[in-house]
Structure 1
Amino acid sequence: MPAVIPTASEQPADEMENQTKTADTRPEAPPDYNLHVVPGPPGPAVPPPTGYPGGLPMGYYSPQQPTTFPLYQPIGSNRPIQYQPGKYPASNQLAPVTWMPGPTPMLSCPPGLEYLAQLDNIHVLQHFEPLELMTSFETNNRYDIKNNIDQMVYVVTEDTDDFTRNAYRTLRPFVLRVTDCTGREIMTMQRPFRCTCCCFCCPSARQELEVQCPPGVTIGFVAEHWNLCRAVYSIQNEKRESMMRVRGPCSTYGCGSDSVFEVQSLNGASDIGSIIRKWDGLLSTMGNADHFDIHFPLDLDVKMKAMILGACFLIDFMYFESSPTPQHSSRR
Structure 2
Amino acid sequence: MQASTSPTVPIDDTEKSPNPIPEVPPTYTSHYQPGPPVTVGYPIASYPGPGPTGFPGLNQPGGFSMYGSGGPPVVYQPGINVNPIQPPQITWMPAPPPVPNCPPGLEFLSQLDKILVHQQIELLELMTRFESNNRYEVKNSMGQMVYMVLEDTDDITRNTYHSLRPFVIRVIDCMGREIMRLQRPLRYTCCCSCCSDTMQELEVQSPPGVPLGYVMQQYVFCQTNFSIENEKNEHVLSIEGPCAAACCSDTIFQIKSMDGINIGSICRQWIGAAQMSLGDIDNYEITFPLDLNVTMKAMVFAATFLIDFMFFENSPRDDRQQRN
* TM-score by shorter chain over 0.5: yes
Alpha carbons of structure 1 residues 297 and 173: separation in structure 2 relative to 1, 3 Å: same
Identical residues among aligned pairs (%): 55
Quote the Cα distance in structure 1 between the aligned partners of 2:238 and 2:289: 15
Aligned pairs for 1:53-68 (under 5 A) are none
Tell me which of 269, 282, 289 is aligned to 1:278: 269
Structure 2 CA distance for partners of 1:104 and 1:256, relative to 1, 3 Å: same
Residue 311 in 1 paired to residue 276 in 2?
no
Does the 8 Å CA contact 2:203/2:215 hold for their aligned counterparts? Answer: yes
Conservation of the 8 A alpha-carbon contact between 2:265 and 2:286: yes
Structure 1 outlier segments of 4+, above 3 Å: 90-94, 283-286
Tell me, yes or no, if the aligned pair for 2:115 and 2:141 is still in contact at 8 Å.
yes
Q: CA deviation at 1:119?
A: 0.4
For 2:290 and 2:224, how far apart are their aligned partners in 1? 26
Using structure 1 for the length normalisation, give the TM-score.
0.68
Query: Aligned pair count?
Result: 239
Structure with higher Rg: it is: 1
Structure 2 CA distance for partners of 1:197 and 1:277, relative to 1, 3 Å: closer
CA deviation vs aligned residue, 1:37-69 (integer Å, no higher than 9, x gap): xxxxxxxxxxxxxxxxxxxxxxxxxxxxx979x
2:187 corresponds to which of 190, 194, 198: 194
Consecutive unaligned residues in structure 2, runs of 5 or more = 1-46, 50-82
Gaps of 5+ in 1: 1-65, 69-89
| TM-score, normalised by the number of residues in structure 2 | 0.70
1:324 deviation in Å? 2.1
- Offset, 1:194: 0.8
Say whether the 8 Å CA contact 1:143–1:156 is kept in structure 2.
yes
In structure 1, what is the equivalent of residue 31 of structure 2? none
Which residue does 1:160 correspond to in 2?
153
**1-side partners of 2:114 and 2:92: how far apart?**
16
CA deviations on 1:102-148 (whole Å, 9 max, x unpaired) are 11222221110000000000100000123223321100000000001
Contact 1:261 1:275 in 2 (8 A): yes
Aligned pair partner of 1:322 in 291, 314, 317: 314
Residues 123 and 291, structure 1, Cα contact 8 Å, conserved in 2: yes
**Letter matched to residue 266 of structure 2:** I
Q: Does 1:255 align with 2:257?
A: no
Structure 1 residues 176, 284: CA separation in 2 closer, same or farther (over 3 Å shift)? farther
Q: Distance in 1 between matches of 2:287 and 2:196?
A: 29
* Residues in 2 aligned to 1:67 and 1:101: alpha-carbon distance in whole angstroms: 25
SS at match of 1:239: coil
2:112 corresponds, among 105, 116, 119, to 119
Alignment correspondent of 2:282:
290
Shift of 1:325: 2.5
- Residues 1:160 and 1:298: Cα distance change in structure 2 (over 3 Å): same
Q: Give the strand-richer structure, 1 or 2.
A: 2
Q: Verify the 8 A CA contact 1:256 1:281 in the aligned structure 2.
A: yes
Aligned counterpart for 2:212 among listed residues 219, 223, 232: 219
Q: Cα offset for 1:196?
A: 2.3
Deviations along 1:163-182, one digit per CA (max 9) or x if unpaired, are 00001010000010001111
TM alignment of 1:130-169, pairs within 5 A: 130-169=123-162
